[in-house]
Amino acid sequence: MSDTPTLFRKVLIANRGEIAVRVIRACRELGLETVAVFSDVDRDAMHVRYASEAYPIGPPPARDSYLSIEKILDVAKRAGADAIHPGYGFLAERPEFAQACIDEGIAFIGPPASAIGAMGDKVVARQTVEAAGVPIVPGTELDLPDEDLAHAAGLIGYPLLIKASAGGGGKGMRRVDRAEDFDNALHAARREAKAAFGEGAVYLEKLIEGARHIEIQVLADAHGNVIYLGERECSIQRRHQKLLEEAPSPFMDDELRQRMGEVAVAAARAVDYVNAGTIEFLVDKDRNFYFLEMNTRLQVEHPVTELVTNLDIVKEQIRIARGRKLSRTQEEIVMKGAAIECRINAEDPYNNFLPSTGHISAMTIPAGPGVRVDSGVTTGSEITPYYDPMLAKLICWGDTRGEALLRMRRALSEYRIMGVKTNIPFHQHLLDSTRFIAGMFDTTFVEERFDMS
Ligand code: MV4
């Protein structure tokens, strides 16, 4: 890695919605010019208005616009962008995109393509981090033939999970409870993996039941410094879609945080990671923790970490991409208070979370002490079925978790969105639930113990 700082003046944001706005804000504070790209339905979108300049990249389906490497690089060259920030989703974890940027002489504000690739293959990721001393769930290490997998299943024991090597985020996962079901489940899992990812490679893991999903934010610079920024509790989810995240986790203590943090740093070092990344863990009732996967991108829920560490993760990403050192050492990371994020989605919580589309005819956004709103929409915005239903993130900070919860209840009651249905009533019910308030929940809570009615 070169020690000469990479100077940039203009950043293209290869994304839309709230995260494009979030990245543009960081760029503007740093005095950088910004380039937005937009599909035909996003002509009047908030990210287009906030950027210094904006270019059309095609029709609404993402594969013809936000997922087109060719169109985005063409805009970057025409606009004279020196760097590209991919946000999350879309092209953020495509190693060929990161590499194509570099090949064009454009800085990629994210990890090296090699690190994205190593963590993208979940079997390679397991092997690589295990060699670095990271605890993984007992399971298989290689892409094994069917007979060997059946044998391994017997050794691992039931219940177990069959997971797609190219999967992640719960896609292509299948639970098997009995040996007599294994062969059928394996064939179905391979078929699904082939259809979804173009390859049928799978691996096995023992099923860890009733675990929490806790992730560690890491930052790594090109000079070999790697630090952790504490954890985020992400167990409040439904069908692998996170709905609410918080920092710190109500389950965590300083000793476990330090152990998990050091393990997360070891996982990042194992793939020569540079930039911001997140290590996902399952943590069982006995506080055993296991590596699940690494997300090689900025995450939706990064603001809760920003509020408790008082660090701007996006600015840090840009600083790292410019070749500078991290702005803080591990000892200088001090966590203060508690932060909670509610994802505000255009979906109907009373009708199976069915996505809701329409025109936002009026809107009141909460504000006041301890309240941050990262929104991708304003009054007049059109909510189409083409993209993710997340409209905004409401993030509240307090001196304690209790104060953050009080502020969140207050802020949710101020939020008015007219024209589309939202999941605000879900969050209001959740924040009144005794178990949630007590911090007594795991990843099964929303689906198995929580009823909206
Ligand atoms: C697991 C698991 C239990 N045991 N692996 C789902 C998303 C993907 N990142 C991995 N996932 C899981 N892997 C073993 N060996 C349970 C889950 C899981 C889960 C994980 C994180 C957050 C929410 C979840 C909901 C259901 C299942």
Mutational pocket test of ligand 1: of 140, 231, 249, 282, the residue with most ligand atoms within 8 Å of the beta carbon: 282
**Cα diameter, the chain:** 62
Kindly report the CA angle at 151 between 148 and 152, in degrees rounded to 5? 85
Cα distance between residue 214 and residue 228, in whole Å: 13
Q: What does the pLDDT read at residue 54?
A: 98
Cα distance between residue 342 and residue 245, in whole Å: 7
Q: What does the pLDDT read at residue 5?
A: 67
Q: What does the pLDDT read at residue 92?
A: 98
* Atom of ligand 1 minimally distant from the CA of 160: 15
Entry field: residues in the chain: 453
* Atom of ligand 1 minimally distant from the CA of 170: 7
Q: Which of 126, 174, 212, 297 is catalytic?
A: 297
Nearest CA to ligand 1 atom 25: 443
Nearest CA to ligand 1 atom 7: 170
Mutational pocket test of ligand 1: of 158, 161, 231, the residue with most ligand atoms within 8 Å of the beta carbon: 161
Give residue ranges with CB within 6 A of ligand 1. 137, 161, 169-170, 173, 205-208, 213, 237, 240, 280, 282, 292-293, 443
Backbone angles phi, psi at 409, to 5 degrees: -60, -45
Query: Cβ atoms within 10 A of the Cβ of 409, count?
Result: 14
Q: What does the pLDDT read at residue 1?
A: 45
Residues paired with residue 291 on neighbouring β-strands, in sequence order: 136, 281
Mutational pocket test of ligand 1: of 163, 173, 284, the residue with most ligand atoms within 8 Å of the beta carbon: 173
Local mean pLDDT, 10-residue blocks, the chain (453 residues): 71 98 98 98 97 98 98 98 98 98 98 98 95 97 88 96 87 91 94 90 95 98 98 97 98 98 98 98 97 98 98 98 98 98 98 97 98 97 97 98 98 98 98 97 93 77
Residues paired with residue 212 on neighbouring β-strands, in sequence order: 283
Cα distance between residue 412 and residue 410, in whole Å: 6
Backbone angles phi, psi at 163, to 5 degrees: -125, 145
Nearest CA to ligand 1 atom 20: 213
Determine whether 297 is an active site residue. Answer: yes
Nearest CA to ligand 1 atom 10: 170
* Residue 62 CA to its chain's centroid (Å): 19
Q: What does the pLDDT read at residue 72?
A: 98
Copy the structure tokens of residue 178. 């009995």
Q: What does the pLDDT read at residue 272?
A: 98
- Residue whose C-alpha is closest to residue 271's, from 112, 428, 413: 112
